Amino acid sequence: MAQLVTGLVFLSVIFGYSNAADTLSPNQPLRDGQTLVSAKETFALGFFSPGRSKNRYVGIWYNKLPGGQTTTVVWVANRSSPLSGTNGSLELNGNGTLTINSMIFLPMPSVTLDNPVAQLLDDGNFVIREANSCEFAWQSFDYPTDTLLSGMKLGWDLRTGLNRNLTSWRSKDDPSPGSYHASIDLTGIPQINIWSGSNKKRRTGPWTGVKFSNLEEMPRPYSLRFGFVNNKDEVYYMFNTTGTKLVCRGLLDQSGMMKNFAWIESTGMWNLYLNYPMNECQEYYSKCGPYGVCDVDVWPMCRCLKGFKPKSPHEWPLMDASSGCDRLTMLDCKSNSNGFMTITLAALPETSNAIVYANISQLNECRDRCLKNCSCTAYATANISKAGLGCVIWVTELLDMQMSSHALQDVFVRLAATDLASISNKSSKKNRTKSMVLIIVFSMVALIIPLIYFYLWGKKKMIQKAFVSHNQFEKDTRGNGEFELAQLQWSTLMVATHNFATTNILGKGGFGLVYKGKLAEGHEIAVKRLSRNSTQGIDEFENEVTFIAKLQHRNLVRLLGYCIKGDEKILVYEYMPNGSLDGFLFGKGDHLDLQTRFHIIEGIARGLLYLHQDSRLRIIHRDLKASNILLDIEMNPKISDFGLARNFGDCETMIKTRKVVGTYGYMAPEYTLDGVFSMKSDVFSFGVLILEIISGQRNRILLSNPQLYLLGKAWRLWNEGKALDLLDPLIGNTFSVTQVMRCINIGLLCVQEKPEDRPSMSLVVVMLSNDDAPLPEPKEPGFKAIFSTKHDAISNQNDLHTFNDITLTEQIGR
């Protein structure tokens, strides 16, 4: 009870909670410490300070929701003009103008009101109106910050020129306008774009009558309704939960991601039901360049449309397809001999320069329009709903196309007659070949079955797992049709690394050295040269090729190619200019602020969730540690080094092995002691990483000095109510107490001794994304008991006298 009272006192200081009506009248200012509360107590308005900030802002936050309470802020009035003290007041003047400490903070009503009132409604809208009228002279919904609520419009009022857009917070402690904003682009066909400054980062594509074309699907929890309006007066997107008990919100976060949450009454927490971008094709605008198509279900992701070829072929093998594709044969508009190739896309090409004919309902008429326009490159139906109305014609290069298994939209791309004939001939030949193969297969079945029998009877019990020749490697990596890696010449890598000069060494792993290189085209690369003496290196080489080449996610390192020359086996990766995470945490380089550390934690979590759940394979990494987290130029984390990774079958939950590999300090107890690993083993390693990132300390398992054991220290401080003492002092004094405590709590949940007690990575991502979601109390972390028992409590005790930067390459489990 005392803790509850303390919590309420804390909230009253931060948010200024107090009982109040929902209406503000002239000459009755709302002072700091007072609030307006909507009629059903869903929302509150008042002064608050986010996180560790001492600035005061006027904002609206959720006050009470079914199943629990939350203080999620959804709107900020003076985000660019904070107050420095607690003597602020919000006042409604007699003419209907709102001021904070006598200063106007947003555009106010253009008309003078006779008897104005300001009211906080139960949908979260703060409005100004005449006391005897229901019409709004002004509303906060016209000036959103980073959050979209039910009934709020994202888009344009063409009559007044009002543009309602979302702008991210600068940080969780600073609601001032951040780097990203989401708005509707009116050029061509309206669509929602996410911008970073003046650079378009990603787009939803136009509304097709069912969904935004670039979204694979629009998840609709319960009775959530989406809508898009495009007429002469308004162009806007909106979702609506009117008449339901559903509570939803959209958020443009500090990383430029659109997150959509639904409040779950049974759990009393926010559930993340849609995260955009959903894959790497959506992550980067026009990733594959003009006439290039991105497909996350194949490798490589980028390829040219049929009838086109790479514009810069030497760049494509290095996963840089931004230059796009050129036509094999130029169009001949005069002879009108061109035709169309049908492709089914998940995302329509960029529509900012497209032309829409709204009254055309026949596809043939749309085709004729395209043929009559020499600039036309493609056409499609504008609306794929039951109405099926409209025609879209592209008159520029086709950009930002995506394919997937969820593709719905047919696009007809204009090609020269010779290219169409070539495509048709290849297709016919392929069909004939398939027919011949089927005939041969069925006729040979009777002969093959006996051969298979004798083969299985004489098969050896053990098969050596290694790449024994360059030709075999070629067959595995280039002949299966699933993915293709660039084969780089030894001489090319010698030049790129200056003959593998020691000055180019980036680091040293258990399987060899990593060098920085630069190709003749200017691409910077990281070159892993596997040690000739490492037998494990062969396995790692195979794993890297098998897994990384098939996995595509913004938080996984990208494998660009390989080289084999005699005993030399080399893997080439994208270069990460900021090196590995351990250099920042434990080195003498630049220090990381809390927001950057949290961004890294979130990125690692998303990458690990992809490995466990969202990728085509179910991968357990088995060596997740700070030195295997690489950082790009924007400090985005990339999980690397898949040499020890294992693929899990759909029905497998855990595996027991006699060969325990990994790195002490990050390995889960059930794996270290019994050789049993599962996805929860990776969760344990992730929990260790969280605590290391927050504390700036290594987790060491050293019996001679148990004080170095980070998990034990974190557990002790947590139980003593001193968890903040774990925070890295290099972070400084500007940080969010709530965020730090939340990270420590999640870290301790992940390192609990029993695997069944640890959360899944999907739950971890939800917990990291929901500041207000209640977290369970953690149980004792793994290995803590080691320091309170005798040395003979565990077999092979000497193996635990080590630091966590030593990697186990082979150990026999119990």
Q: Give residue-wise pLDDT tens across range 128-187.
A: 999 988 899 999 999 999 999 999 999 999 999 999 999 999 988 899 999 999 999 998
The residue-averaged pLDDT of 724-747 equals: 88
Asked whether the beta carbons of 351 and 191 are under 8 A apart, the reply is: yes
What mean pLDDT is reported for the chain? Answer: 80
243 or 440, which is more confident? 243
Burial per residue of 543-574, b for 16 or more beta-carbon CB atoms within 10 angstroms, e otherwise: bbbbbbbbbbbbbbbbbbbbbbeeeebbbbbb
Rounded to a whole number, what is the largest CA-CA distance in the chain? Answer: 98
Instruction: State the pLDDT at residue 426.
Output: 57
3-state helix, strand, coil in the chain (%, to 5): 25, 30, 45
pLDDT tens digits, one per residue of 345-366: 877 899 888 988 888 878 889 9
Which residue is listed with tokens 């759909």? 650
Instruction: State the pLDDT at residue 17.
Output: 44
Instruction: State the pLDDT at residue 348.
Output: 84
Residue 503, C-beta contacts closer than 8 angstroms, at least 6 positions apart:
none
173 is a catalytic site residue: no
Asked whether the CA dihedral 34, 40, 43, 45 is positive or negative, the reply is negative
Q: pTM score, two decimals?
A: 0.69
Asked whether the beta carbons of 684 and 751 are under 8 A apart, the reply is: yes
Which residue is listed with tokens 């220090």? 591
State how far Cα 185 lies from the chain centre: 23
Rounded to 5°, angle at Cα 413 from 407 and 418: 130
pLDDT of residue 393 exceeding 60, the answer is: yes
Give the CA-trace dihedral at 352, 357, 360, 365, to 10 degrees.
Answer: -80
Position 466 confidence tier, pLDDT thresholds 50, 70, 90: very low
Instruction: State the pLDDT at residue 648.
Output: 67
Position 459 confidence tier, pLDDT thresholds 50, 70, 90: very low
* 178 vs 458: CA distance, rounded Å: 67
Position 523 confidence tier, pLDDT thresholds 50, 70, 90: confident
How does strand 559-565 pair with strand 486-487?
A: parallel
The residue-averaged pLDDT of 693-712 equals: 76
pLDDT tens digits, one per residue of 231-252: 899 999 998 887 777 889 999 9
pLDDT of residue 71 exceeding 60, the answer is: yes
Which residue is listed with tokens 């979209």? 148
DSSP 189-216: S-EEEEEETTEEEEEEEEB-SSSBTTSS
Element (H, E) at 584: helix 581-586
Residue 391: what are its φ and ψ, rounded to 5°? -135, 130
132 or 208, which is more confident? 132
* 470 vs 377: CA distance, rounded Å: 43
* 741 vs 747: CA distance, rounded Å: 10
Least confident of 28-37, 70-79, 347-356, 710-719: 347-356
Instruction: State the pLDDT at residue 650.
Output: 53
Residue 229: what are its φ and ψ, rounded to 5°? -115, 130
Which numeric CATH code is attached to 470-574? 3.30.200.20
Q: Burial of 507 by CB count in 10 Å (0-12 exposed, 13-18 middle, 19+ buried)?
A: middle
Helix axes 737-750, 679-695, angle to 10 degrees: 150
Provide Rg for the chain, Cα atoms: 30
Residue 502, C-beta contacts closer than 8 angstroms, at least 6 positions apart:
none
Instruction: Locate the domains of the chain by residue range.
Output: 1-143, 282-421, 470-574, 585-808
* 521 vs 486: CA distance, rounded Å: 15
Tokens, residue 145: 């910050």
The neighbouring-strand residues paired with 162 are 157
Instruction: State the pLDDT at residue 243.
Output: 73
DSSP 39-73: TTSSEEEEEE--TT---BEEEEEE--BTTB----E
Instruction: State the pLDDT at residue 701.
Output: 66
pLDDT of residue 16 exceeding 60, the answer is: no
pLDDT tens digits, one per residue of 398-413: 999 988 766 678 899 9
Question: Which amino acid makes up residue 484?
Answer: E
pLDDT tens digits, one per residue of 80-133: 999 998 999 999 998 899 999 989 988 888 888 889 999 999 999 999 999 988
Asked whether the beta carbons of 340 and 414 are under 8 A apart, the reply is: yes
Asked whether the CA dihedral 412, 418, 419, 421 is positive or negative, the reply is positive
Asked whether the beta carbons of 182 and 166 are under 8 A apart, the reply is: yes
The neighbouring-strand residues paired with 342 are 412
The CATH superfamily of 585-808 is: Transferase(Phosphotransferase) domain 1 (1.10.510.10)
Least confident of 147-151, 447-451, 709-713: 447-451
DSSP 269-297: EEEEEEEES-SHHHHSTTTT-TTEEEETT
For domain 282-421, the CATH class is alpha beta
How many CB atoms are closer than 10 A to CB 267?
A: 13
Residue 308, C-beta contacts closer than 8 angstroms, at least 6 positions apart:
291, 325, 326, 327, 328
Position 460 confidence tier, pLDDT thresholds 50, 70, 90: very low
Q: How far is CA 501 from CA 494, 527, 568, 686, in A?
A: 9, 12, 16, 34
Residue 626: what are its φ and ψ, rounded to 5°? -60, -35
Position 289 confidence tier, pLDDT thresholds 50, 70, 90: very high
Helix (H, G, I), strand (E, B) or coil at 629: strand
pLDDT tens digits, one per residue of 543-602: 677 666 677 788 998 888 888 887 788 888 889 999 889 888 987 667 788 889 999 999
Q: Which residue out of 253, 623, 682, 728 is catalytically annotated? A: 623
Q: Is CATH 2.90.10.10 the classification given to domain 1-143? A: yes
